[in-house]
A = this chain, B = another copy of it.
Amino acid sequence: MSDQLSRVFAALSDPTRRDMVARLTGGDATVGELAAPYAVSMQAVSKHLKVLEEAGLVTRSRDAQRRPVHLEAEVFDLMTKWIERYRQRAEERYQRLDAVLAELDNDEHNDEHKQGLAGAPEEGTAS
Binding site for B on A (CB under 8 A): 1-3, 5-7, 9-10, 12-15, 18-19, 21-30, 33, 36-37, 71, 73, 76, 79-80, 82-84, 86-87, 89-91, 93-94, 115-119, 121-123
Contact = CB atoms under 8 A, between A and B. Distances in A.
B73 A90 contact: yes
What is the oligomeric copy number? 2
Given A26-B93, A86-B25, A36 B117 contact: yes
Contact of A23 (B5, B37, B118): B118
A79 B73 contact: no
Which 10 A-B pairs rank lowest in CB-CB distance, beginning with the nearest? Answer: A26-B118, A10-B13, A9-B13, A25-B89, A73-B90, A27-B115, A33-B116, A26-B119, A22-B121, A25-B90
A52 to B, nearest CB: 13
B26 A117 contact: yes
A28 B114 CA distance: 11
Contacts of A15: 2-3, 5-6, 123
